[in-house]
Structure 1
Amino acid sequence: MYNSQLPTDGSNAPKGTSMGVGVFEPRTDRHGNERIRILLKSFGLRTSLIRLKVIDALLTAAENDRSLGVRGVHSQLLDLDIPLSFLSVREVLKRLCSEGVIVLNPDKSYSLHPQAAAILRNR
């Protein structure tokens, strides 16, 4: 049903209002994810919310000199109130690994493939 008080640009918030914190922090908004979108496209992968969030979690961990395995990525996403199942996270990590975007380290943690990291640095 049409509501004349809602914006027509697809957003739910009136113009000029803050979306708060958490998932909508500037670091994880559409503009912050643009480099991840370009990365996925360069590997021939479609952009999906779960891929964006998983890669963002790995990047955040790397910036903080931490390494994350499947459980770590899943926990980090749950801490950000992103309700993804453990199996979904595991499958996305496996797919990103098989496509060469990320690598599985000997300690069972994941990190960006050097080629993927180079693409992100150039953006």
Structure 2
Amino acid sequence: MRGTAVEEFKAWCAEHGRVDRPCTTATYTEYGTYLMSQANRKDGTRTMKAATIRAYMSHIRMWQPPGKCPDRTMFNNIIKGWTEKNPRANSRKAWHHLTGVPDPCPIGR
């Protein structure tokens, strides 16, 4: 996933005239906001859960040169608000039926 996250970030920066490495906090935050906007698309071309977006942003931040990482505070505040407004952004699929593990809470399902 790290390679994909970084390559997509580099392409987005080139398309938007931004410097990818080291990137500013503004570029980092704007890209995170872009990923959230893509996750909300109704045509189904891209659907990313909050955890995936956070992982992408973490990979991008770790890819930055030592001592030049963008501040993630603004992005974290934005994604927190986004997840509160979009409950599906945090939804998880139940995999217990595929693994053969007994459902720990079968009542109500």
Q: TM-score range by the shorter chain?
A: 0.3 to 0.5
- Structure richer in strand, relative to its length: 1
TM-score by length of 1: 0.35
Q: With a CA cutoff of 8 Å and minimum separation of 6, indicate the structure with the bigger relative contact order.
A: 2
TM-score by length of 2: 0.38
- Structure richer in helix, relative to its length: 2
